[in-house]
Amino acid sequence: MQSALILGGGVMGLSAAWALYRAGYAVRVVEQDPVPNPRGSSVDDHRLIRHAYGAARGYMRMIDPAHAAWSLLFQEAGEVAYVPTGVLALANAPNAWISDSRAALRADGHAVEDLDAATIAARYPYLSAEGLADAFHLPTGGVLLARRIVEMLSRILAHRGVDIRRGHAVAVDPARAGLLLGDGTRLQADLLVVAAGPWAPRLLPSLATRVRPTRQILVRLAPPPEHEAAWRQAPMLLDLAEDGGFYAVPPVAGTPLKIGDHRFAPTGDPDAPREATAAEAAEILDFARPRILGLDRYRVLSAAACYYDVEAEERFVVERLGDMAFVMSGFSGHGFKFGALLGLALARAAGDASLADALPGWAAGAKPPPAGLLADLQQENAA
């Protein structure tokens, strides 16, 4: 039996561990913090999954396989950590992302409903439609319950006897599929997967020229009583203002309403505290105030920082590091939705050199999947 060593216990590392175990590997995971890691960007209430992707049609077309991959995981876990909500996208000025999304979605047969200001005001009474220039509603898409998914993956792996151990990696040896830990321990396997999130650029100098860690702020809110029920039934909201706008995740499955902005912050230190400052929280609230009516009446529950590993063009970096290792990085805040899918694809590519060569282009959203890359999902759908 071949062995696999995974560095990182976030959604990518655990998804790769899950998929490699299914492919017959003896798997070990090394994570510097407890799993789920409270400092990991994966460990939050929710992450969004949606077909709307601007002009990035490759990623739009990865969404259906991503749903199938999550369904496979949920079947194995015996629970579903997903809530469908649909998508509401809007802007106060002509917006390329909205127009590109609309064109791409309709070209691939997705139902997109254009909305005017009057319809927005009537359908979503907690929102202001003032100055609205463009908007659409997409019935597909929803909320992945991120913390539950990470817990689910770690539980499945533990049940199957996968070793998940604490350890701080200080050096990576891709050529030998090895790790050196801070306590002097050396670990080695037949295959190494580096999925260390915003810490990965520190360990891989070649990655540091392509991927940087950024500090992103989110604010959790409780709506006023008159809007609680409407928000629980709300679609995810993507407000594409010229200054970057904000997103809002509805309070589904007992989670709070969450808002954050679309911009990437300057490069940050992923070891910095996760508490947000009052000024950081206020800036996010200021983005949302023109759109969410009476925002000052919403109760702020908490504000926090998470760290993204950002690639300059928001393209995923899933590729070989020599013959015995892979890196999974550059997920730029939108990678979670593809965690299970990318894990399955990596496990398939690990045993097939031709698939490994094709993996980076597909993961970057630039090429269709080569035949056989998603065989796990094809077999599952056929069954």
Low-confidence winner among 62-71, 167-176, 366-375 (lowest mean pLDDT)? 366-375
**Are 326 and 190 a contacting pair, CB within 8 Å?**
no
How many domains would you assign to the chain?
Answer: 1
Answer yes or no: is pLDDT of 226 > 70: yes
CB atoms within 10 A of CB 12: 32
Write down the pLDDT at residue 56. Answer: 97
* Average confidence (pLDDT) over 234-254: 92
Banded model confidence at residue 189, pLDDT cuts 50, 70, 90: very high
Answer yes or no: is pLDDT of 313 > 60: yes
Share of the chain above pLDDT 70, in %: 98
Give whichever of 186-190, 237-241, 368-372, 375-379 has the largest mean pLDDT. Answer: 186-190
* Average confidence (pLDDT) over 6-29: 97
Write down the pLDDT at residue 380. Answer: 55
pLDDT tens, position by position, 60-114: 999 999 999 999 999 999 999 999 999 999 999 999 999 999 999 999 999 999 9
Write down the pLDDT at residue 229. Answer: 96
Write down the pLDDT at residue 289. Answer: 95
pTM of the model: 0.96
Write down the pLDDT at residue 140. Answer: 97
Banded model confidence at residue 321, pLDDT cuts 50, 70, 90: very high
Write down the pLDDT at residue 379. Answer: 60
Surface-to-core class of residue 340, CB atoms within 10 Å of its CB (0-12 exposed, 13-18 middle, 19+ buried) = buried
Write down the pLDDT at residue 150. Answer: 96
Single out the residue of 336, 262, 332 nearest to residue 62, CA to CA.
336
Write down the pLDDT at residue 39. Answer: 85
Low-confidence winner among 17-26, 129-138, 257-266 (lowest mean pLDDT)? 257-266
Q: Pairing between strand 236-239 and 87-91? A: parallel
Mean pLDDT computed over every residue of the chain: 95
Question: What amino acid occupies position 136?
Answer: F
Answer yes or no: is pLDDT of 165 > 80: yes
Query: Domain containing 214: what range?
Result: 3-382
Write down the pLDDT at residue 154. Answer: 96
Write down the pLDDT at residue 381. Answer: 52
Question: What amino acid occupies position 378?
Answer: Q
CATH of residue 336: 3.30.9.10
